Amino acid sequence: MNDTPFLDTLAVRPLGDGTFVADLHQDWAVGDRPHGGYLLALLSRAAVGDTSLDPLSVSAQYLRSPKVGPVLLRTERLKAGRTVTVVRAVLEQAGQVCVDATLTLGEIPDEPPTWSDLPDMPVNPPPDAVDLGSSEAGGPNGLARACDMRLDPRGAGFLRGSTSEPLRLRMWARPHQGQPDLLFGLIAGDLTMPVTFNLGRFGWSPTVQLTALLRARPANGWFRLVVESKAVHGPWFDEDTLVIDSTGRLVCQARQLALSAK
């Protein structure tokens, strides 16, 4: 467990003209590769800047993987309207573009949804949920330094060496310090291990493209994550994630195209 508050890992320092510098934090990396959702949260913080706007959608192309350390963030306002503002945000390191994102900014609605159809899942992780920072899961590693993650063993066939389970996982997550917010919701949309673990594919699975929609400001408590894939074709697979807060509100929907080792 780390002692760095979540928002401190997303600190950006303005240089003027929509340019920022930041340091990619080790706690949000697997090895020396920063987590994809964390990169989106960092870009979102730069895109919002000193406005009162919220990120409503983020669509990103992952061109190359940056390493832990300093980066440059460039933002450009493409549209400024009464309801919607559109910003392009680019993350660069060593003179190369690593992530190129387009963000739609606006105001997250506070009223409850008129209609929703979400999967049923316990508000809190059950006693047999696997703590991904525990010795049972191989010891503290990766993102378990940055947040508390509990995996539902039901459906996680890879834990038992099975490769016959559907590509569907369920997990609970929250920051080690403080309560989840919109930016943590964006991270949660890309937080689980790849669902292709259930096929026995344990290699690195880089995200190629990811689009996330932020739908509601979260309540305190655990996030509930439901992650599934519709198809795996060769090395390519899709992964859809629903992030639901403790009151049953949909916080984030994320869909990505990724690569896995065969």
Which of 2.40.160.210, 3.40.50.720, 3.20.20.80, 3.90.79.10 would CATH assign to domain 6-107+123-259?
Answer: 2.40.160.210
Task: Report helix, strand or coil for 46.
Answer: helix
For CA atoms 248, 54, 37, 61, the dihedral sign is: positive
Q: How far apart are CA 208 and CA 42, in angstroms?
A: 18
Instruction: Give CA–CA dist 173/125, Å, rounded.
Output: 9
Per-residue pLDDT tens over the stretch 34-65: 999 999 999 999 999 999 999 999 999 999 99
Distance CA(183)–CA(198), nearest Å, equals 28
Cβ atoms 113, 250 nearer than 8 A? yes
The rounded distance, in Å, linking the Cα atoms of 252 and 187 is 9
- The confidence band for 138, taking pLDDT boundaries of 50, 70 and 90, is very low
Q: Is the dihedral of CA 168, 172, 177, 179 positive or negative?
A: positive
Query: Against a cut of 0.85, is the pTM above it?
Result: yes
The predicted-structure confidence for 78-106, as pLDDT tens digits, reads as follows 999 999 999 999 999 999 999 999 999 99
* Alpha-carbon distances, residue 222 vs 5, 83, 198, 214, 245 (angstroms): 17, 31, 24, 17, 6
- What is the percentage of the chain residues whose pLDDT exceeds 90? 84
pLDDT in tens, 185-238: 999 999 999 999 999 999 889 999 999 999 999 999 999 999 999 999 999 999
Q: Where are the alpha helices (DSSP H) in the chain?
A: 36-48, 182-188
**Exposure b/e, 199-229, CB count within 10 A at least 16 = b:** bebeeebebeebbbbbbbbbeeebbbbbbbb
Contact 48, 105 (CB under 8 A): yes
Which residues are within 8 A (CB) of 205 and not within 5 positions of it... i.e. 6 or more apart?
A: 194, 196, 237, 258, 259, 260, 261
Q: How far is CA 30 from the centre of its chain?
A: 13
Summarize pLDDT for 120-132 with one digit per residue, the tens.
Answer: 999 999 999 999 9
